[in-house]
Structure 1
Amino acid sequence: MTSLVRTSLAVAALLAAGPVSGQAIQASQSATVSQWIADAHFEITYDRPVARDREIWGALVPWNEVWTPSANLALQLRVNRGVLLAGQTLPAGAYSVWLEPKEGGAWRLLVHRDLEVAHNVVPSDGWVLEAAIEPRRDADHMEALAAYFSDADYREGALDLHWGTTALRIPIEVPEGG
């Protein structure tokens, strides 16, 4: 093997290994999580904001204002078939997910038809789902926002959003024949 070929292969391996020195690394790391529940496939893509000793609820994330549980771009939800999300019908498709945190009582869950939306540009119309979700405010501390699926069973499960000591459990049902 010639030295030119060896050098080219070494450079290609270094570039494939990760960011080149000097490239910016996002403060809020990207994550993707997916889950099958029955014959429904769910995929969540989001950027995980980190608390970093900041007060989250009512400060970093204001009360009574629509916010996406993500940084950079809105949290993205893809589902391959119609399901019930928080008891509401959600057709197959790709969506952005938003919340309206409340200091007391239930929060509003909002799902929008546009997928690629900046985290700080709240859509004015085009909402396809709205539901009330009661937050749990005594969860173990989660430094970086986490989205995960819990209790995935034959036709039911939940999408959980957890940041700081607040956790939201969004029930999922997969109807038969969908």
Structure 2
Amino acid sequence: MLITLRSLTFLVLLLFLGTCAGNEASEDGSHHHEAAPAANATAGKSKSPHTTAMGNIGNAHVHIEYSSPSVRGRTIWGGLVAYDQVWSTGAHNATAVTFSEPVRVGDTDIAAGTYGFFTIPGREEWIIILNENYDQHLADDYDQSLDLIRVTVQPEKLPEPVESLTYAVEPSADGAGGAITVAWDSLKVALPVSATE
């Protein structure tokens, strides 16, 4: 009887501890469940994070949404980014530029709206493109017939390399004009933009 009483006591103790451990695991599990999105967001952090740039040119608010890849020791120009081919000028989805008011690029008036921003990088000059289709993966669905404008620009050699692709809206001193700039690795290009009258 003594062995049976010990066995019974041991069994009750095991059940009690098992129940307590189960409650702790349940509480712990719900705590980790709540924290999981933050942990997963960090663990799955994109190497080309989605980011934005914005500013004003004249009365127009310019908003740019893009994914920003990094150099990470790679050859960018003529390597990761091919020369003489349409590039989404970012990673993942095409870069989208939104103008809150009409603007002028060169001699072309561009209506308020959202447009795809593409480039064709060259060794000596680049072509910057605003296209009607901004909702696409990279340049997979790029259609030249939807181009609103193509502007040829000279790339500027940067004194210091830029690790992550960076867009900026740079207003001119008088505020009536400015540029959308793209800098990455050793180069920077600018699309001149002005307010409409």
* TM-score normalised according to structure 2 size: 0.76
Return 5+ residue gaps in structure 2 as ranges: 1-27
Match status 1:77 vs 2:77: no
Structure 1: distance between partners of 2:139 and 2:196: 34
1:156: how far off?
1.0
1:85: how far off?
2.5
1:120: how far off?
4.1
8 A Cα contact 1:87 1:172, kept in partner: no
1:161: how far off?
0.3
Partner of 1:166: 187
Structure 2: distance between partners of 1:44 and 1:13: 32
8 A Cα contact 2:60 2:101, kept in partner: yes
Aligned-pair identity in percent equals: 20
1:27-42 aligned at under 5 Å gives the runs 27-42=47-62
Residues matched between the structures, number: 168
Match status 1:123 vs 2:142: yes
- Structure number with larger C-alpha Rg: 2
RMSD over equivalenced CA pairs, Å: 2.5
1:15: how far off?
6.6
Partner of 1:52: 72
Structure 1: distance between partners of 2:120 and 2:129: 8
Change (3 A) 1:37 1:90: same
Change (3 A) 1:159 1:11: same
Segments ≥4 residues shifted beyond 6 Å = 10-13
Match of 2:156, SS? Answer: coil
Return 5+ residue gaps in structure 1 as ranges: 1-6
Match status 1:94 vs 2:114: yes
Structure 2: distance between partners of 1:21 and 1:27: 12
The answer to which structure has the higher helix fraction is: 2
